[in-house]
Amino acid sequence: MLPQTLTAGPRTRILIAAEQIQQRVRELASQIDADYTQDPLYVVSVLKGAFIFVADLCRALKRPNVRIEFMAISSYGSEKTTSGQVKLTRDLDVNIEGQNVLIVEDIVDSGITLNYLTRLLRQRHPRSLEIVTLLDKPERRIQPVSVKYIGFQIPDEFVVGYGLDYAEDYRNLSDICVLSEAGIR
């Protein structure tokens, strides 16, 4: 029997249910599979928020040569608004020169994080560099980013679950939820 997964509680309202997420992840993976040749694909995931998405996405890809790498960037502390400051806290430990690189992000909000990250990785001369994000809040964009694969466009609401946190809580929810005022400390 499958373990019971944690879902929305009194402080959260479901925006995108777990089944919908899983369906969309499969669609994104088949699009990605179709777009890339059989060369290795370097999947660069941004910690921590994208960790569940990258795990599900990679398992839905039908190729054995998916190389999974992690970077960490901080732009949010326990606050709900971006500081506008991006700090690289964990770099890649592989050379991506001449490789196909796919950045996997949880959510694009102001665009500051991905604008910074793509400029940084482009300097390393990958063969190709694209972005897949599970969520996109287009209304919030301050800096331009070109995102090839988008799971869901969502309104300007603060979401948690499926890897996304509020002050490190809620990452383990199976659904993507909006946090009510009661959930915000």
- Site of interaction with ligand 5GP (CB under 6 A): 49, 75-76, 82, 105-113, 158-160, 164-166
Among the listed residues 33, 35, 93, 109, the single catalytic one is 109
| Cα torsion 22, 64, 115, 184: sign | positive
Mark 34-54 as b/e (b = at least 16 C-beta within 10 Å).
eebeeeebbbbbbbbbbbbbb
For residues 80 and 166, what is the distance between their CA atoms, to the nearest angstrom?
A: 8
Nearest-approach distance from CB 108 to ligand 5GP, in angstroms: 5
Q: Which residues contact 119 (CB under 8 A, 6 or more apart)?
A: none
* Active-site annotation holds for 136: no
Instruction: Output the smallest distance, CB 100 to ligand 5GP, in A.
Output: 22
**What is the β-pairing status of strands 66-74 and 100-108?**
unpaired
Least distance to ligand 5GP from the beta carbon of 119, Å? 13
Q: Residue 142: count other Cβ atoms within 10 Å of its Cβ.
A: 11
Q: Residues with catalytic annotation?
A: 109
